[in-house]
Each structure stands twice: as C-alpha cells, then as structure tokens.
Amino acid sequence: MAKKEELTGAKVRDLTDEEITVSIRKFRDHIYKLRCQTVTEKVEDNSQFGTLRRNVARLRTEQTRRLAETVNA
C-alpha cells in the first residue's frame, strides 16, 4: 500500500516554487498510476484519490497566490 502524503497549508507555504512544481508533477503521476491500476486490478485504498487531488489543489492554490503576489508587486 502506498504511503499517504497529506500536505498542510503551512508545509506548502514553506516549499519553494520549484519544489511545488515537482510535487504537483509527482502527485499527478501517482493519480495516473492509480487510475491505470483500477483498470487492471483492484486498488486497495480508494481514499488515495481524494487525498492526492486535495494535495494537488493545495499546491496549485499556493502557486496561484504567489503568481498574484508577483503581478501585484
């Protein structure tokens, strides 16, 4: 079973822009692999989908916030 990696807002704010981009790619790849796994075999923990999607949303929100700060600065 894959390790659940839950991010909090404080953890996301501590990441650099590059780390956020890499994390988004990592989580999206993991979501894709889980989707492929649902077709070929049974997924042990379906709650992983929601956790991963929420992590991507947190990262994207922080990315957008930082972009808005640079535009408004």
pLDDT in tens, 54-70: 999 999 999 999 999 99
Q: Which domains are seen in the chain, by residue range?
A: 12-72 (1.10.287)
As to burial, measured by CB atoms within 10 angstroms (0-12 exposed, 13-18 middle, 19+ buried), residue 52 is buried
The pLDDT value recorded for residue 7 is: 84
- The amino acid at residue 54 is R
Residue 14 reports pLDDT greater than 60: yes
How confident is the model over 32-55, as pLDDT tens digits? 999 999 999 888 899 999 999 999
pTM of the entire predicted model: 0.85
